[in-house]
Amino acid sequence: MADGHGRSNEQLYKRACEVIPGGVSSPVRSFRSVGGSPYFVARAEGAHVWDVEGQRYLDYVQSYGASILGHAHPAVVEAIRKAAGEGTSYGAPTEREVLLAEAIAERVPGCDMVRLVSSGTEAAMSAVRVARGFTGRDRVVMFAGCYHGHSDALLAAGGSGVATLGLPASAGVPAGAVADTVVAPYNRVPEVGRDVACVLVEPVAANMGLVPPQPGFLEGLRKACDAAGALLVFDEVITGFRLGSGGAQGVYGVRPDLSVFGKVIGGGLPLAAFGGRRDVMDVLAPAGPVYQAGTLSGNPLATAAGLAVLDLLDEAAFTMLAGRAAELGPALAGVIEEAGFAVQVPVAGPLLGLFFADAPVTDYEQAKASCGSGLYAALFRALLERGVALAPGPYEAIFPSLAHTHADIEHTLDQARAAIASVPPPG
């Protein structure tokens, strides 16, 4: 249906595909893994987005976690509006950068110092460079199923269930770029040799569906890093300022040497950060020899949005958010089970996952087995038809926001009951 200006989802997608590869600015948005074509968002408010045809969706994507208060929160919008009137970028330091760095350092146990960048990709890439510069070592250990953005060295593919030197996970990544990247299975403490600069991990994996750390995993990584003189880097781009004000490191009580943030911290604007121990962060130029820079780093609009968000994220907010997830998770699992499907709905604080599997998923091999069933795509489509938007891919987490009400959760469960009834059972 067009809106009178010839802007149906279909029409826009067709035009987009002519001028944008795959029609999207980031691959998961394309609906390739769930079928069909994407809805084009016209606007959003709170827990909902509206597409260009006027269709409303209860939104569990929330910009993959960048929006934690819900869309267009008045305090964030006002902060951005005010900041914009004062200029959008200066190429000189500002007070808000200091305030945001202070706010992060105050909240996150492992962060004495912080540098602001513009994307999670940049933050993870820079943290690894800092770890290499600080240790004088090249090797990086990461985990299959974790995502750290799309820098060459971190686009490495894992082998099947064993630690392997990475192979490029994308065309265009030279073998040399991942020659020092080791990919190990998640939730098992790998061997960490004395040639390892850092072990990089999502403390709660949220890019292979949601896979929480097994007891002892994060503690084991800390020990292995200490024994080898390697740095432990937590990629908290999703967990930071979402699991609690101290992120996953606050919840699990394991202190990394470096941390990577994004998504929540920018309040929906392009902002990310990495931080850590003072002696480690001191290697950064101009204080030290590790180069890292950015024209738009610490952008005045983005810092304004980030500060406005952090200002509203008190303990009550995190409790409420986790409460919503606790309300939705087991009930959603119940609804899907009643329909005859084996399902796992893991919950970690305010984050949820959805696997069609008969036992909890603990690593990427198991996640892939579940995601290969096609059931997620079927449920996704049936829910979308009913106005509930999950992410258009089985490897994404479910992100309730602070704008999701009890009634929204009830509505989700009702729609899920109807949606799953339309999905043919397996076999």
Ligand X SMILES: *Cc1c(COP(=O)(O)O)cnc(C)c1O
Contact footprint for ligand X (CB under 6 A): 119-121, 124, 147-149, 202, 207, 235, 237-238, 262, 272
Nearer residue to ligand X within complex by CB, 119 or 259: 119
Nearest 5°: phi and psi at 186?
-65, 150
Nearer of residues 202 and 327 to ligand X, judged by Cβ: 202
Q: Which of 13, 39, 57, 147 is catalytic?
A: 147
* E-state strands within 103-163: 113-117, 139-143, 156-157
263 part of the active site? yes
Q: What element of type H or E holds 168?
A: strand 167-168
Please identify, using beta-carbon distances, which residue of 206 and 336 lies nearer to ligand X: 206
Return phi, psi of residue 42, to 5°: -95, -40
Catalytic residue among 263, 364, 395, 408: 263
| C-alpha span between 15 and 32 (Å, rounded) | 17
- C-alpha distances (whole Å) from 374 to each of 87, 296, 345, 368, 371 are 48, 41, 16, 11, 7
394 close to 209: Cβ distance less than 8 angstroms: yes
- Identify the CA nearest to 114 among candidates 125, 103, 122: 103
Would you tell me how many other CB atoms lie within 10 Å of the CB of residue 328?
A: 23
DSSP 39: P
Q: How far is the CB of 54 from ligand X (least distance, A)?
A: 29
Catalytic residue among 180, 235, 257, 363: 235
Residue 308 CA to residue 312 CA, distance in Å, equals: 7
- Smaller CB separation from ligand X, 148 or 255: 148
Q: For this structure, is 147 an active site residue?
A: yes
Q: Which is nearer to ligand X, 272 or 322 (CB)?
A: 272
Tokens standing for residue 424: 């043919």
Matching residue, tokens 């101290």: 246
- Closer CB to ligand X, 31 or 147, in the complex: 147
Q: How far apart are CA 407 and CA 427, in angstroms?
A: 35
Backbone torsions φ then ψ of 274, nearest 5 degrees: -135, 150
Catalytic site positions: 147, 235, 263
